[in-house]
Amino acid sequence: MGKSAGLTYRTIFLEEHGKLCNEDIQCILDKGICFRETGIMEKPVYLGIGPDMKASYFIGADWLDEKEGLSVVVHPKKEMENVDYFKMFMACLENELSSDYFSLIYGIECEKKYINCARLQDQITPLLLIHYLTVLKRLTKRGLRKDYVLQEENLQCKAKGRVLTGENLRMNVIGRRLDRCYCSFHEYTVDSQENRLLKKALLFTARFIRKFGSHDSFAKLSALTNSLLAQFENVGDEIEIYQIRRVAANGLFKDYNEAVILAKKILRRFGYSIEKVNRTEGGTPVFWIDMSRLYEVYVYSLLNRAYGKQILFQVKGYHQCSADFIKLDENLIIDTKYKPRYENGNKGIIDDIRQVSAYARDEKIISHLIDAQPYMGEYPCLIIYPEKQASDDLEVTRFNHEESLLQKARKINGFRNFYKLGVRLPVKI
């Protein structure tokens, strides 16, 4: 609770899947705020809080009523508070996800007024920066795009483009420097305002990453940023705020379009000042992270590292269905569920079993398995869930390419060919 210019700020705190208390519900109803269910492919409204007044899988901070100073913050479950989100974010970098899928994992709105909540200040920024590095890595593989840039230069023994009479008179004729000519001309170069914007955001990113010098992911991130900066060697980093705002995304170049949007968000995140990169004051931007999708990507990084091409990710079926993974050599349908409770029992698992069963009968999904192996009848199904761990048990789950997933999994009693497997998350050391 806080006050500013006569306005009383109030923040409602909620845990993932937690329910609003009666006092908060009454406050929300009095303001006429309506919650609704978030669709599978939709960005959440009000952090995905549903009509039942319960939070979903989204964590973050959002305004319920910005004019009245009412905000809501959803923080991770207690059993997940010690999770190392930075390592999970690194999985996004490793997998080089498409921009469409990244947009489903998180969102950030730097244009809105910041919310005063120190608890979540560093949850979103690393993901934004890793997303940016992912796009730049993909973009620079094809080389930086050149553009025609207007230059002014006092040339010696030659003229180029258009002679600027006034400047030439002042700088050369009056001073009897008759071997020079002050000209304006267009040059085809990588040193465009677009690339300068990208480089400036990259410098901000490199500065922020230094904060993680003791983290075991630092070496990899530092090497990547240095490699990317080398690609921008012939690009300047001087660009004014008004020039940044004028840089427009180009729909013909998808990676550049995405990079420009992200670069602007990064610069706004730090108030266009590199000196603010290491500061923690100023509140938290409006943002959300879909923990279920982030967990899904983390599991994908582990599976892909061990089994490579045997793992297919986001296999599309009919009626907008998608199986999280299929494993070709085991004819296995796999789905991740961000539900730690499955470690101690199968409470509430029926709906998930029905969902994965549907994937195993979707002709579009199982066509990949039929192509890989002869039809074997009933396809086995596996649910992967986050396994809880003690703070002193730092060993995360790893897979071995010589070991099948079903050998590691536990059978779900009462259901034929159905299994579950706990995958530990990385924790802070």
Left, alpha or beta for 309 (phi > 0: left; psi -120 to 50: alpha)? alpha
End-to-end C-alpha distance for the chain, whole angstroms: 32
Residue 407 burial (C-beta neighbours within 10 Å; 0-12, 13-18, 19+): exposed
The arithmetic mean of pLDDT across residues 58-66, rounded, is 91
- For the stretch 125-164, what's the b/e string if a residue is b when 16 or more beta carbons lie within 10 angstroms of its beta carbon? bbbbbbbbbbbbbbbbeeebeebebeeeeeeeeeeeeeeb
Measure Cα distances from 24 to 4, 15, 55 in Å.
Answer: 21, 14, 13
Beta-bridge partner residues of 384: 336, 421
Task: Tell me how far apart the alpha carbons of residues 325 and 327 are, in angstroms, rounded to a whole number.
Answer: 7
- The pLDDT-based confidence of 133 (bands split at 50, 70, 90) is very high
Residue carrying structure tokens 């410098």 = 203
Residue 134 has pLDDT above 70, yes or no: yes
Contact call for residues 323 and 337 (beta carbons, < 8 A): no
Taking CA atoms, 196 is separated from 125, 208, 243, 259, in Å, by: 21, 19, 10, 12
Q: Report the pLDDT value the prediction gives residue 203, as an integer from 0 to 100.
A: 93
pLDDT in tens, 137-147: 988 988 898 88
Residues in the chain: 429
Q: What is the pLDDT of residues 70-128, one digit of tens each?
A: 999 998 887 777 788 888 888 888 777 777 788 888 988 888 888 877 666 567 888 88
Average pLDDT, the chain: 85
pLDDT digits (tens, 9 = 90+) for 349-400: 999 999 999 999 898 998 888 766 655 668 999 999 998 764 444 456 778 8
Is the CB of residue 198 less than 8 Å from the CB of residue 263? yes
Is residue 130 predicted with pLDDT exceeding 60? yes
Structure tokens at 354: 């029905």
pLDDT at 327: 94
pLDDT, tens digit, 9 for 90 and up, residues 24-57 = 888 888 888 888 888 877 889 999 999 999 999 9
Is this structure's pTM higher than 0.85?
no
Task: Specify the higher pLDDT residue, 68 or 274.
Answer: 68
Burial class of residue 350, CB neighbours in 10 A (0-12, 13-18, 19+): exposed
